Amino acid sequence: MTGDRFELRKFVAPEFVIGADARLLTGRYAKNFGARHVLVVTGPHIIQAGWVKDVTASLDEDGIHHTIFSSVTPNPRDHEVMAGAKVYADAGCDAIVAVGGGSPMDCAKGIGIVSTSGRNILEFEGVDQIVVPPPPMICIPTTAGTGADVSQFAIINDTARKVKIAIISKKIVPDIALIDPLPLTTLSPELTAHTGMDAITHSVEAYVSNASSPVTDIHALESIRLMQAHLSPACRSLEDTGHRYQTMLGSLCAGLAFSNASLGAVHAMAHSLGGLSDLPHGECNALLLEHVMAYNYPACPKRYETIGEAMGLDLSATSHADRKERIIAGIRSLREALHVTDTLGDLGVSKEDIPALARNALNDPCMATNPRQPTIKDIERIYEEAL
């Protein structure tokens, strides 16, 4: 972090309710917003797990009609957003409920943008490009990691250019997030690990961001403590609601941190990978994090040491170089304990892909708040290290 710690900072957050069965409040909040017909944006796996049924039952109890749109894939596509907006219009909807991980929530945000603007979702790339507010939105996260339920970010895949675009605006902060740990109990260990590492990456990048503040720092460090303590046990004991609640709390804190401090090179590079190769976002973050930390470390060593302390690492009586290695080894050990052990090469990325990946990553908005500004050669070298 550079600059005066007392400078003015803004912090944007939605209303949220956290706790068991929060999802069952959907109907009440939709009614409070004056909704008559809600578009429920979700995915087929979430429907199969039974969590959407609880949400629609809550809407039924309050006399609110609903239409389900479930044609959402991981790394949501521009054409999926446009198809959802057509369903929204054709059904005469006036509010949106998103049930799922980051993909349904980002798609839902995109549908909201298109439904009130009448424009293509790709026209809103960048910061503060939305003029007309979207309709009321309720987000119900079913993973502990993405933070989309509380953030002012939406990431959409531009299928023609094979890049992920970032849409950043306080107008797409959900009106309320109903944060319920119970849907996490049907997640696989793999998805628990990937989304949990996404939350850790959010917190690490927010804490070292050049737009961090004392308020985002508090949320980022607490998230790191919570995920360090509870993510591995949650992967081992999938139905343990105690650990699941703590990871959901960690994801919430991480979301509030990065929504306001933004992110950095890990996410810029992961977005590029997701756009070109359609790889899982959380896994990309997990595989890139330690390499970006090593690159960024000289720019803010004290910040990374505080992260290491939040992880419970012993950094006393060691040299500067030893502290750096212990912190990076701590992140690597956590990743390996979660069985996230592939390399980018194992996932099909080749050396020939790197120049295009690096070009797209350098242009990603998240790169602007990285604590050290890389050249395209620096980014190429980090990708090579992760192969």
- Would residue 194 count as lying in a domain? yes
Domain limit, last residue, from 184, 202, 217: 184
Q: Are residues 150 and 168 in the same domain?
A: yes
- Would residue 4 count as lying in a domain? no
Q: Are residues 288 and 245 in the same domain?
A: yes
Beta bridge partners of 37: 65
Q: How many domains does the chain have?
A: 2
- Would residue 363 count as lying in a domain? yes
pLDDT by 10s per residue, the chain, length 387: 445 567 888 999 999 999 999 999 999 999 999 999 999 999 999 999 999 999 999 999 999 999 999 999 999 999 999 999 999 999 999 999 999 999 999 999 999 999 999 999 999 999 999 999 999 999 999 999 999 999 999 999 999 999 999 999 999 999 999 999 999 999 999 999 999 999 999 999 999 999 999 999 999 999 999 999 999 999 999 999 999 999 999 999 999 999 999 999 999 999 999 999 999 999 999 999 999 999 999 999 999 999 999 999 999 878 889 999 999 999 999 999 999 999 999 999 999 999 999 999 999 999 999 999 999 999 999 999 999
Q: Are residues 152 and 133 in the same domain?
A: yes
- Would residue 72 count as lying in a domain? yes
Q: Are residues 201 and 301 in the same domain?
A: yes
- Would residue 62 count as lying in a domain? yes
What CATH number corresponds to the domain at position 149? Answer: 3.40.50.1970
Domain limit, last residue, from 184, 215, 237: 184
- Would residue 117 count as lying in a domain? yes
Range of the domain at 374: 189-386
Q: Are residues 28 and 65 in the same domain?
A: yes
d(CA 296, CA 311) in angstroms, rounded, equals: 18
Cα-based torsion angle of the residue sequence 83, 84, 89, 91 in order, rounded to the nearest 10 degrees: 110
Residue-wise pLDDT tens digits, 319-331 = 889 999 999 999 9
- Would residue 48 count as lying in a domain? yes
Q: Are residues 235 and 305 in the same domain?
A: yes
Q: Are residues 240 and 307 in the same domain?
A: yes
In single-letter form, the type of residue at position 71 comes to: S
Sheet bearing 153-158, strands edge to edge? 126-127, 163-168, 153-158
What CATH number corresponds to the domain at position 270? Answer: 1.20.1090.10
- Would residue 3 count as lying in a domain? no
Residue-wise pLDDT tens digits, 113-136 = 999 999 999 999 999 999 999 999
Residue-wise pLDDT tens digits, 191-228 = 999 999 999 999 999 999 999 999 999 999 999 999 99
3-state secondary structure of 153: strand
Beta bridge partners of 138: 97, 176
Please check whether residue 289 is in contact with residue 385, taking contact to mean a CB–CB distance below 8 angstroms. Answer: no
> Tokens in use for 12?
């944007």
pLDDT at 325: 96
Q: Are residues 373 and 256 in the same domain?
A: yes
Q: Are residues 299 and 243 in the same domain?
A: yes
Query: How many CB atoms are closer than 10 A to CB 347?
Result: 16
Q: Are residues 212 and 351 in the same domain?
A: yes
Phi, psi of 252 (to 5 degrees): -60, -50
Q: Are residues 210 and 111 in the same domain?
A: no
d(CA 205, CA 380) in angstroms, rounded, equals: 19
Domain limit, last residue, from 128, 155, 184: 184
Q: Are residues 193 and 342 in the same domain?
A: yes
